[in-house]
Structure 1
Amino acid sequence: MNRLVLAAQVQEQGTTRYTPAGLPAVDLTLLSESEVVQDGHPRMVRLDIRAVAIGQQVCAQVRSLSLEARKTFTGFLAPSRNGKGLVFHITDIHD
């Protein structure tokens, strides 16, 4: 299963663009900071992740967010268009 749930804040938000299929899309950079337990030891994890919202509803949700708004983002990972790295495709946003 390819599903990602990430608590993060919006660092950067691009302008609305359109996919070749005519769907609206917004590129984002998200910042996630959290403490996880690895092998019984706490570890602080901080990461920037490239993300994209595609479609009317999720783009409207993204557009309503202020920079540095902390939310829970749900979606999936896919290869980037240039094949270098991964992009988090956001399908839903929660408080």
Structure 2
Amino acid sequence: MNRLELSGRLLELGPLRHTPAGVAALEFKLVHESELEEAGVKRKVQAEIGAIAFEAQARLVAGRPLGSAVNVQGFLSAKSRRAKRLMLHVTNIEFVEGE
């Protein structure tokens, strides 16, 4: 299984671009902060992850202000066939209003 759900804030936002096949694509970076329990001990978690969204999800993110709170769902994969850097491929994004 390869499924990831993550809450966070938009940290960096690239330009909306199009792939050679004409598919809208947008790369962005999320920062996540939370407090979780691990081995019976509370732990503060902070992480940054690169993400990419396509088509409707890419257009939804484009132009949003940095710092916007989001909940995302997707899967982990290499950025591309040649670039093996791990990226979150976003399949659904929801903006959390009021945060």
**Does the alignment reach a TM-score above 0.5?**
yes
Match of 2:69 in 1: 70
SS of corresponding position for 1:59 = helix
Letter in 2 for 1:11: L
Identity %: 34
CA distance in 1, matches of 2:17, 2:86: 19
How big is the shift at 1:91?
1.0
For residues 1-95 of structure 1, the aligned pairs below 5 Å read: 1-55=1-55, 57-63=56-62, 65-81=64-80, 82-83=83-84, 85-94=85-94, 95=96
CA distance in 2, matches of 1:44, 1:28: 23
Asked if structure 1 preserves the Cα contact closer than 8 Å seen for 2:6 and 2:71, the reply is yes
RMSD: 1.2
Structure 2: 5+ residue stretches without partners: none
Moved more, 6-15 or 62-71: 62-71
Q: TM-score, normalised by structure 2?
A: 0.87
Q: TM-score, normalised by structure 1?
A: 0.90
Structure 1: 5+ residue stretches without partners: none
